Chain A
Amino acid sequence: MGNVKKSPWLLHYDGSSCNGCDIEVLASLTPIYDAERFGVINTGDPLQADIFLVTGGINHQCQGVVKQLYDQMPNPKVVVAVGICACTGGIFKETYNILGGVDTTIPVDVYVPGCAARPQAIIDGIVKGIDLFQRRSDERDRLIKEAKKNGKVTDEVMAEIDARINQIKVDPSVKAPEDAGKIKEIPTGGSEE
């Protein structure tokens, strides 16, 4: 049914990051990168969000929060882990307080590497997430239609459908835009390390 991919709303949560990735997430919304071009709204409210952007690793205290926020989001939804910390725990994974990346707590669909993750990378991550979001939404609609044919759609049926759609993975054929990255032609004098 719905063409949902034009309206991905973000929920950003700062797990245990150093701030570097957070400010880059914010920067990706500012005029230069303007993620709102893709219909992105940085909503603060899990109940209305589609894409969960988590920066930073997971520690003992924020684990519950991350889990709860994820549970509060209505299906279909996508989780994007932004930054090395969110991917693996990064530089802090060996400390006593960090459990690891976001995938220690909730299923992660897209990993955005970088320390800090660049705005471009974050946009790419979102773009991949959007695609998955659309696929999950389509699948959800299909399953509901099917379920309707088979009888009443109860809350349990819905729960089962939602569990199923969350299994869908990112289609590997969807390429994020090639990031060959041109070199800026500004005077640099080269690197001299």
Chain B
Amino acid sequence: MGKRSVIPFGPQHPVLPEPIHLDLVVEDEKIVEAIPSIGFVHRGLEGLVTKKDFNQMTYIVERTCGICSFGHGMGYVETIEDIMKVEVPDRAKYLRTIWFEMSRIHSHLLWLGLMADAFGFENLFYQAWRIREKVLDMIEMTTGGRVIFSVNKVGGVIKDITPEMQAKILDDLKEVEAETKRIATTFLNDYSVKSRLCGVGILTKQQMIDLGCTGPFARASGLNNDIRLRGYEAYKDLDLEPCISTDGDCYARCDVRIQEIFQSIDLIRQACAKIPAGDIAVPVKGNPNGEAFVRLEQPRGEAVYYVKANGTPHIDRFRLRTPTFANLMGLCEMLKNTELADVGILAVTIDPCISCTER
């Protein structure tokens, strides 16, 4: 009888930078039931295809999300390029890869910060975000935007990275790498941090498969699912070993993401070394007609883009299946029988991105 509490968790909850809502039923602080609800940031982005032409849509799709905006733009233009059989110049492919990896670094650093925040480690949050600013500076230097890059277009990219910029990026990356290493030890070794992460929210590999989870979240349970291995853009030319852990708890997820930061730094270095000279875009004429799917490895996992076009400037359908959408199932599973104090951590551990999930 009684003794349970119902807690409305979100939409306005500082631990969640984005509005989602959970009906939490707790006993003491143990969660006995958690029902998520979304829709607070649903905008209806996909519906805009009827009002905007396919080039304008590039800028709109980017604004699916302010964190992986670059990936979204890229996924979209790749889909259109696929339909129109546009062969993107190699240099553009490398540029896209570099930016994509930059956005992964900034996303993961952002995540580390939010994670630190969720377990009440202010200072660590600040330091993670301080390092992230360096990455944002690189991004702004090359694209002109801090979080929304707006450099993709159908047929290539809009801006080039000059050799001077490239040198500066490589230089700054060293600093980013060194500083990240310093905060990484705290994430991985500190007693108080480990008391919050180790053994919390364990999901097995099989559960990950059954729930259809993706990204670093699933990789932390031993699932080798890195879509980049598919070799799109420049990835086919780069050395890429997926970062995998087997414990399947929050600690492992933290570990995987930290590894991925270093991996991305490495990828950028490789790409900078191998980048060919040449054009950054090819002219595109006409309108797309047909349909295509594209899969990408976003920082949060696999995103799927689908476009059906009809030969007019206004495409018929645009659909986006986001990684968070897949991983939310994992969150619901993890929330069972955990504690209230873990909710913030578990919610952050899937690296939820609600704005792309709801679009």
Contacts and interface: CB of A to CB of B under 8 A. Distances in A.
A contacting B, Cβ–Cβ less than 8 Å? yes
Interface of A: 12-24, 26-27, 30-32, 42, 44, 46, 56-57, 59, 61-62, 65, 69, 91-92, 94-98, 115-116, 118, 184, 186-193
Interface stretch (B58-66, B256-264, B282-290): B58-66
Contacts of A30: 113, 125-126, 129-130, 133
Interface stretch (B85-93, B158-166, B223-231, B312-320): B158-166
Contacts of A46: 12
Contact of A27 (B14, B64, B129): B129
Contacts of A56: 41
A14 B358 CA distance: 14
B355 interface: yes
Given A92-B43, A116-B148, A23 B162 contact: no
A44 B47 contact: no
B35 interface: no
B147 interface: yes
Interface in B144-159: 144-148, 158-159
A32 B147 CA distance: 16
Contacts, number: 150
A27 to B, nearest CB: 7
Contact of B43 (A31, A97, A189, A190): A97
B interface: dominant SS:
loop
Nearest to B117: A26
A62 B42 CA distance: 9
B120 to A, nearest CB: 13
Contacts of A21: 66
B48 A95 contact: yes
B65 A19 contact: yes
Contact of A187 (B41, B51, B164): B164
A23 B110 CA distance: 9
A33 to B, nearest CB: 9
Given A97-B42, A187-B168, A20 B63 contact: yes
Contacts of A62: 11, 19, 40-41
